[in-house]
Structure 1
Amino acid sequence: MGVNEAARQFGIPKTTLKDRIKKGVAIKQHRLGPSSALGEDAELKLVRYIKKLQTFGFAPDRESVRIWAFQLAEKLKLKHTFNKERGKAGYDWLNSFLRRHPDISIRKAEGISFNRATGMNRLSVKHYFTLLENVLTDNHLHSKPSNVFNMDESGLQLNNRPTQALAAKGSKNSEG
């Protein structure tokens, strides 16, 4: 098929099609509109961090993610329009962030009592100790027992009204 015929059939201007063939101009893969204040790489790090926290049972809420976005922009010395007085990104940024990363969604976190009732089983306990072993190994703490602390929740106020949290879409656990 010739260029003129292809242009007519697919509704593409002839000059555009000829330029693409002649110059080998690649089609842009990025979205229209202004780019994110953090940039693609930093946002992907933030997404991985959110998912990691969620797997450990600490899914972050909206406010935390907005604060982290501000802190990340400041640490990377990026130009941004986040609120410096409050030290966090805006609601619009968060909504755009969620649109750019459809694998993260806002979910209502489960209350702690249900998690306690179902969480104390052989598999969960084994996972906890495997995770503990990995943290101790990764941070070289086996030879430094004075740097390892133990605590229980007897003196802590537990939140019986869970907030909405950001979590990986389709995941089963989003504890708050």
Structure 2
Amino acid sequence: MVMLRVNGGTFETETDPDTPLLYVLRNEMDLYGAKFGCGLGQCGSCTVLADGTPIFSCLTPISMLAEREITTLEGLGTIDNPGPVQRAFIEEQAAQCGYCIPGMIMRAHALLSHNATPDETAIRSALSPSLCRCGTHMRILRAVRRAAESFETQASVAEEETQ
């Protein structure tokens, strides 16, 4: 039995410990944000966060994640109350087919959680493992820059509160 911590809750599974996380998320937990794309860790559509770090859930066996906090797209916000990155992607209409968007959002969230004021190079580097074939790259970049403004504001408020 493997116990997983996902989006702030715990989940026990009898699944083979070598099973990739993606299959447990989608087939057992009904969390469909992470997509099956290539199954080889080359497209990024399956990206989730493990302790805040982006990972390819199609490649990562659940046995490696037992002590880590996993965050999926669903853990960032809801339809009624999207998280800052999700909101920015909606406002910038950054999705066309939408297949890459969950991975892009997860990578952007990880970047902005560690660096609320990334430069263009940092943004492009953080997103580079995720492929978008629709050509919405410029809207995706605008969405990340918009989300960065929100993260920067949150960081400023948090800093003022600690002083």
TM range (shorter): under 0.3
Of Structure 1 and Structure 2, the greater strand share is in 2
- Higher RCO (CA-CA < 8 Å; seq separation 6+): 1
Highest Rg: 1 or 2? Answer: 1
What is the TM-score of this pair, normalised by structure 1? 0.26
Bigger fraction of residues in helix: 1
